[in-house]
A = this chain, B = another copy of it.
Amino acid sequence: MTDFQWVGQRVPKVDALIKATGAAKFTNDISFPDMLTGKLVRSPYPHARILNIDTRRAKRLRGVKAVITGKDTPGVKYGVFPDSRDQYLLAVDKVRYIGEEVAAVAAVDEETAQEAIDLIAVDYEPLVPVFDPQEALQPAAPVIHVHAPNNISTEMFVKHGAVEKGLENSRFQADEQFIIDGLAHCQMEPYVALASYNAISGKLDMWMPHQSPFTKQKGLSNTLKMPLKNIRVLKSCIGGAFGGRSEVSPADFCAALLSMQCGRPVKICYSREETFVTTRQKHPWIIDIKMGVDRDGKLLASKIKILADGGAYNSTGQIAISVAYTIFESTYRISSLSYQATRAYTNNPIRGAMKGHGIQQFMFALESVWDILAEKAGMDPLEIRLKNIVKKGEKLNSGSQITSCHLRESLVRVADVTQFKKKWRSPSPRRGIGISCSSMISGFNLGFRSGSTAYIKFNEEGEATLFTGTTDNGQGNDSMMVQVAAEGLGISMDDINLISADTDLTPLDPGSYSMCAAFVSANAVKAAAADARRQIFEIAADRLEANILDLELRDKQVFVKGSRQAGIPVKKLLVQACRSGKPVFGTGYFRPDIDYFRDHTKKGRQKGQMTGAYSFGAAVAEVEVDSETGVVKVLRITTAQDCGFAINPMAVEGQMEGSVGFALGQALFETLDLRQGQVMNASFFDYKLPLSSDMPEVCSMIVESNDPNGPYGAKEAAEAVHPAALAAIVNAIANALGIRPKNIPITPEKVKKLLAASQRTIA
């Protein structure tokens, strides 16, 4: 570590100053003199046929420059995967949830746009809706999509080994059902899209918060039927994503279509309510888990059944229901298993990606079951986990290899620091302690976009410009890339200009989801810096009469290691490179070695490597419960994260603390309150996010395992802490109450009900 000048150091983010002073330009801060305001007409019905849309009065309103309905779109359907595109850009036949987009207008100001929206008359024929996923799967349920008469949006099956036999052979068994509510991302930045179409050049410029400019560009190309090269997604600052900003959004293509129609830039900025209701949300789940262990607590068999409420359209449903299995097997040796997950269509809002899709839902349930089994087996929660967790070098059932793993170390660390075993066995009055862990992937197969390229160019003073396609959603990716480049180039972070996340300017990159940034994108940056350094060394070796391997690069000079000889300024070497006909230009590429395949039949066959590396997190939560009020106070959360190597420990800790905040909200407060398809709490007043005053004391520990393929050993950081902390809180509440909550969030009312039902009070 100490050999490094920039990586591994606690450096402030490169955008800290502009963010702190308000100088940062988010999409809504970007304006053009002739820009129009766009607004969307949304369905008031959860399920209805559209009989007619009359836009004539709106079109006649002074100040209205464009009005579009489904007829003005290219008539295609969109969705995340080519085989699951089920939604028209603007509803043409039916609406399937309250809030669905039906028409769009662009006008000179917000008031006029709103007036125009109100003047658009849509005739609906209401249809019978269905909101409960279990009901939706009944034969008599209303059919939401013609292509899915059974209302099954997507299904997944995995089978491995002799499950029934495994269960039979089990000494201890658990069979439990868990229910998890839907959540909203609550990014601080509301969704906003700005489109500027140039009819002369045919080029479309777009700004919006996103997780990958290339994914947005591709989504726009698909929905607008426009060549990729004519669409440019430009960089703006982004106020949070959490998985919710990867798909193409109606705001994106409606702003584009409106701009194309009237030849002026159009900005659509969602209200907070629209952001809550019509952007993708976390899937509510019902999970049935049956698990059996032998007398030593070793897992023999698991039988898992999941029903997810997908809402009105597919979105990322396929992924949501598959990742639970993925993370299960990369955390614990699963032995025999059957896994069946179904995602039902309902007339609720659309559910998609949020913070690991379905991982937290599942890990809450799984980690609850581990505690149940531990109790049955007479073991403590740490003990049973240590018996079953994966280790470095193991090959998973799916075929993936674990290349680095300090999960054991992480669990032991949080247990030791908190005196977990002692406190768990004899909790103080009203207090409880819980432990949990999880794993996480670092990158995923994203086809053409699985790998990342980075370039580094130099100006005539030897300062560098780094080009990377990755996105910074606030987590510090921009800073990480500059750190890695500075380390490789032996120059100061201040000497590096960064160009990132622009489809025209930067090379292809997976983007800032599937946890690619550290493992994939930073690896590409490291390779680009190494490439530039090699070119510089080749010239320097000659001048210094030294072997390339004996050279080092620091403070913009090349030295012979250990020699007192004066260094050669890099600038001189750059000039010499130009003169010799080959200027220094670093290019680097990294693509994780992934080849995972799974068939979609009930046979659930699979093979190959799923991700570049697995990372791991563990947490211990300590809580206090007021049996009078039912209020749970989380006192302390101690987390450990194996992120391979912390490129910026301060940023990793920040992300770990953020994960604790998410876990806290999901465990105790957050629920998207739906009644008859209507979100009842679509505001920060009604939707209870944890406040800073709700935050417990947090202790974050980084446990480095140095992945052999990660840049400087780094891999994904901090996301496993979220499910671990969530389940740890639940387990701590169970430890305090002596009763186990099986649905989250665990509100004071639920605590009181649990206590009442069990006729217990706690001392």
Residues of A within 8 A of B (CB): 17-18, 21, 23, 31, 33, 198, 200-201, 214, 217-218, 221, 227-229, 448-451, 453, 455, 457, 459-461, 463-465, 495-497, 499, 503-505, 507-508, 575, 578-579, 581-583, 585, 587, 589, 591
Contacts and interface: CB of A to CB of B under 8 A. Distances in A.
A229 B497 contact: yes
Given A229-B495, A583-B508, A448 B575 contact: yes
Given A228-B459, A459-B228, A465 B591 contact: no
A453 B585 contact: yes
B463 A227 contact: yes
B507 A499 contact: no
Contacts of A31: 33
9 contacts: A217-B459, A227-B461, A227-B495, A228-B463, A450-B578, A465-B504, A497-B504, A508-B578, A579-B591
A1 to B, nearest CB: 28
A591 B457 CA distance: 17
Given A228-B461, A459-B508, A17 B200 contact: yes
Contacts of A575: 448
A393 B50 CA distance: 80
Contacts of A21: 200
Given A453-B457, A581-B591, 19 more contacts: A23-B200, A33-B33, A214-B459, A218-B460, A221-B461, A228-B463, A448-B460, A451-B583, A453-B585, A459-B503, A459-B508, A460-B508, A465-B504, A507-B583, A508-B583, A578-B591, A579-B591, A581-B589, A583-B589
A496 B217 CA distance: 16
A229 B465 CA distance: 8
A237 B221 CA distance: 28
A589 B584 CA distance: 10
Contact of A201 (B17, B499, B578): B17
Contacts of A459: 214, 217, 228-229, 503, 508
Contacts of A18: 198, 200-201
A453 B587 CA distance: 14
A609 to B, nearest CB: 14
A505 B497 CA distance: 10
Contacts of A229: 459, 461, 463-465, 495-497
In this complex, which of A21, A450, A465 has the most chain B Cβ atoms within 10 angstroms of its Cβ?
A465
A509 to B, nearest CB: 11
A504 B455 CA distance: 13
A218 B575 CA distance: 15
* Nearest 3 interchain pairs by C-beta: A229-B463, A448-B460, A23-B200
A217 B448 CA distance: 37
A496 B579 CA distance: 30
A198 B23 contact: yes
Nearest to A221: B461
A33 B581 CA distance: 45
A499 B504 contact: yes
A461 B231 CA distance: 12
Contacts of A503: 459
B583 A453 contact: yes
Nearest to A587: B585
A720 B33 CA distance: 44
A455 B453 contact: no
A728 B464 CA distance: 50
A578 B23 contact: no
A508 B505 CA distance: 16
A460 B215 CA distance: 11
A620 to B, nearest CB: 40
B589 A507 contact: no
A221 B495 CA distance: 15
A457 B497 contact: no
A482 to B, nearest CB: 12
A579 B594 CA distance: 10
A499 B505 contact: yes
A662 to B, nearest CB: 30
Contacts of A455: 455, 585
Contacts of A460: 214, 218, 228, 448-449, 508
Contacts of A499: 504-505
A99 to B, nearest CB: 32
Contacts of A17: 200-201
A384 to B, nearest CB: 42
Contacts of A221: 461
Given A218-B460, A507-B457, A448 B578 contact: yes
Contacts of A217: 459
Nearest to A460: B448
A341 B505 CA distance: 47
Nearest to A574: B448
Contacts of A589: 581-583
Nearest to A450: B578
Nearest to A14: B201
Nearest to A595: B579
In this complex, which of A21, A449, A459, A587 has the most chain B Cβ atoms within 10 angstroms of its Cβ?
A459
A433 to B, nearest CB: 45
A457 B503 CA distance: 11
Contact of A23 (B201, B587, B591): B201
A33 B583 CA distance: 40
A223 to B, nearest CB: 15
A229 B459 CA distance: 8
